[in-house]
Amino acid sequence: MTGGFPPPEGSAPSEKGHWRIESRRIVRVPTTPEECGLCGCWQLVAVLRDCVELGPKKRKQEDAVGYYASSIACGEVTDDQMLDEIRGHWAGIENGTHLMRDV
């Protein structure tokens, strides 16, 4: 694999919740397990998250990039489906009680 990720082009609709507005953009790069050295990896994914805090604990706007390796080939799912898969992964890790404990 050559070079880095190109700048994100697509974006998901903004979501409002947990005292913030968040939008996400995704870049997917097809690869092979041999190219990236990861068994079963068929694409590398970068998700840029733009987050604006709302409410009483307002902070500055935060931008973050998450990097993922996926066993799902690029042609098998759309950008929106991949974003849903990534969000769904975290939903299984964090449950609803975390927000109440953090607030």
Confidence (pTM): 0.66
Residue 94, pLDDT score? 58
Residues 2-59 pLDDT 10s: 456 555 555 555 665 556 677 888 999 999 999 999 999 999 999 998 877 777 766 6
Domain ranges of the chain: 10-102
Q: How confident is the model at residue 1 (pLDDT cuts 50, 70, 90)?
A: very low
Using DSSP's 3-state secondary structure scheme, residue 56 falls into coil
User: How large is the C-alpha radius of gyration of the chain?
Assistant: 16
The amino acid that residue 80 corresponds to is D
Q: How far apart are CA 8 and CA 24, in angstroms?
A: 9
Residue type, 42: W
Rounded Cα gap, residues 83 and 86, in angstroms: 5
Q: How does pLDDT run across 47-78, given as a tens digit for each residue?
A: 998 877 777 766 667 788 999 999 999 899 99
Cα separation of 60 and 97, whole Å? Answer: 25
